[in-house]
Structure 1
Amino acid sequence: MRSRPKEPRVPPDRRETVRHEIVSLLTGESMTAREISGQVGIGEKEVLEHLGHIRTALRSRLVVTPPACLECGFSFRKRERLGKPGRCPVCRSERIVDPSYTID
């Protein structure tokens, strides 16, 4: 059985860079990494990498609403990483609300 050669993947036409798109999405609006991923068309891990660079470039204008445990209510206020933690350190639950991001 013959298979057809794969068509080369063509990246979408963009008027601005991915980071500019993320900054324009987050200006005045709070979104999670999953929501940003859906709007921009890239993976969640890529979004988190871009958010790290954006946080450095904007010098703490990126406001992170910390993730929280749904079981015991523990809030990850001191967490420096931008991604969602895997487990709550208090009750060991994995039911954690995603952090959200906004730019002031």
Structure 2
Amino acid sequence: MKERPRHPFIPPPRQDTVRRELTVLLREENLTVRELSGLVGIPEKEVLEHLEHLRTALHGRLDMTPPRCLECGFSFQKRERLKKPGRCPVCHSGRIIDPSFTIG
């Protein structure tokens, strides 16, 4: 069996920086981390890191629609972390709507 030669991953050329692209997208509409990941073409973990930086750089103008449990309706209003929680503290369900972000 013949192996194919491996080539290094070459990212597509960008017009702007990733953070600038995220900023433009978040000024237009309310998006989740998964949606941002697909639009910008980077992993969700990297999107979260960039959002943390943007939250600091924008001095609190990054607005988050909090995640909400689909089973009992619990809303994570006081949650500071940007990552989606694993389980609901009330009913322990894992069915949670992702938080979404926008720049206000």
On whether the aligned pair clears a TM of 0.5, the verdict is yes
Task: Judge which range, 2-11 or 58-67, deviates more.
Answer: 2-11
Please, which runs of 5 or more residues in structure 1 have no aligned partner? none
After superposing the two structures, state which structure 1 stretch, 7-16 or 85-94, moved more: 7-16
Number of equivalenced pairs: 104
Separation in 2, partners of 1:70, 1:19: 31
| Alignment partners' CA distance in 1, 2:34 and 2:26 | 13
Partner of 1:103: 103
Give the match for residue 25 of structure 1: 25
Supply the distance in 1 between the matched residues of 2:28 and 2:66 (Cα, whole angstroms): 17
> Letter of the aligned partner of 2:47 in structure 1?
V
Q: Which amino acid aligns with 1:54?
A: L
Report the counterpart of residue 58 of structure 1 in structure 2.
58
User: Partner residue of 1:11?
Assistant: 11
Which residue pairs with 1:78 in the alignment? Answer: 78
Deviation at 1:28, TM superposition (A): 3.4
Distance 1:34 1:8 in 2: 25
Return the offset for 1:2. 3.3
How far off is 1:3 after superposition?
Answer: 1.4
How far apart in 2 are the matches of 1:71 and 1:8? 45
Structure 2: segments with no counterpart, 5+ residues: none
Deviation beyond 4 Å, 4+ runs, structure 1: none
TM-score between both structures, scaled by the size of structure 1:
0.96
Deviation of residue 72 (structure 1)?
Answer: 0.6
Matched to 2:29, the amino acid is E
- Percent identity for Structure 1 against Structure 2: 66
